[in-house]
Amino acid sequence: MPEQRAPERIEPQSLGDYLEVMSKAVFQAGMSWKVVEAKWPGIRDAFRGFDAQAVAHLTPDDLDALTRDERVIRNRRKLEAVVSNAGRILELEAEHGTFRDYLRSHGSFEATASDLRKQFKFLGEMGSYYFLYVVGEEVPPHDEWKASRRR
């Protein structure tokens, strides 16, 4: 079996960068990453380049249209989660000054990951780890983190 390589890390320049990475984690939940990667250009386009303000203001009619758009993964709950998460990112930025300040306000990886799971829809343990890793926040080495999850 080919070895899976780590996702590329980024230096977020905007809320849209955070929203895009988080949305990829949302769509990857329970799906093949290959399917998500293949559809990603269409998803990015359908979600207005992940402009957080634009996504947060999508209407139920806009979501209805997305459920018929073959460029995207047409799971209504995940589509709604992206819109909800965009709104929450905007709220947390307003509350903390920057979204990065929100991420760094918890004091530890575990506290941050736990709060992400509470604040955002369709973001589980793996999605939270992936999100924090890709956006350049401190995370434990993957093998250690994975081992800590075995019960």
Q: Does residue 9 sit within a domain?
A: no
DSSP per residue over 61-79, as a string?
A: HHHHHHHT-TTS---HHHH
Q: Does residue 4 sit within a domain?
A: no
Among candidates 137, 55, 60, which has minimal Cα distance to 99?
137
Q: What is the pLDDT of residues 73-99, one digit of tens each?
A: 999 999 999 999 999 999 999 999 999
Q: Does residue 105 sit within a domain?
A: yes
In the chain, the percentage of residues whose pLDDT exceeds 90 is 90
Q: Does residue 5 sit within a domain?
A: no
Helix/strand/coil for 30: coil
Q: Does residue 93 sit within a domain?
A: yes
Total count of domains within the chain? 1
Q: Which residues contact 34 (CB under 8 A, 6 or more apart)?
A: none
> The domain containing residue 30 runs over which residues?
15-149
Report pTM.
0.94
Q: Does residue 29 sit within a domain?
A: yes
Helix/strand/coil for 43: helix
Domain CATH code at residue 128? 1.10.340.30
